[in-house]
Amino acid sequence: MPNPATLFSFGFCAVKVMADGFLKNLMVSMPLPIDQRGKPASVKIHVSSGRGVDIVWADGHASHYDFVYLRDHCPCATCNDERIKKESLAESSPAFASSPALPMFKAKPRAQSATPVGQYAIQLSFSDGHSTGIYSYDHLRSICPCAECAANRQ
């Protein structure tokens, strides 16, 4: 006996097509964030004072991010590629990693503006002209600089 219905699944949507060709059920489910701790309860971005970003998370944990720290941990593709190249160069040439040469002076980057990106991220524009990094709340929680979180990453 043939199956009277066929179930098709497209990502987060499932459709049940009956033998007569009509749709019986349409089920749509949105994915839940894997880590509910990544949901902020409060976000304060101190652009004018230059103090950084303060986030209180849904689980009560509080994080403070200096703008220099955020610029150094920018999640954009260009910055990720640059970090990977530096790590690769340091691994292939240990002398490079421990070079006594002084780096060229660079002024500390300052945030010039901050823009919310939907309900999931913020985008910062820095004084060095960089503005392509979108800092998702999940990413921010994963790079929390507090001693407790840093110890858990080790």
Picking from 105, 107, 106, 114, the residue whose alpha carbon sits closest to that of residue 52 is: 114
Q: Could you read off the pLDDT of 8-63 as tens digits, one per residue?
A: 434 443 444 455 555 444 444 445 555 666 799 999 999 999 999 999 999 999 99
| CA 9 remoteness from chain centre | 28
| Distances, alpha carbon 89 to alpha carbons 97, 112, 129, in Å | 8, 32, 26
**Are 62 and 126 contained in the same domain?**
yes
pLDDT value, residue 30: 47
Q: Could you read off the pLDDT of 122-145 as tens digits, one per residue?
A: 999 999 999 999 999 999 999 999
pLDDT value, residue 98: 59
**Are 6 and 40 contained in the same domain?**
no
Mean pLDDT computed over 99-123: 85
- Whether the model clears a pTM of 0.75, i.e. scores above it, the answer is no
**Are 9 and 73 contained in the same domain?**
no
Q: Classify residue 144: in a domain, yes or no.
A: yes
Domain extent, residue 75, equals: 36-80+108-153
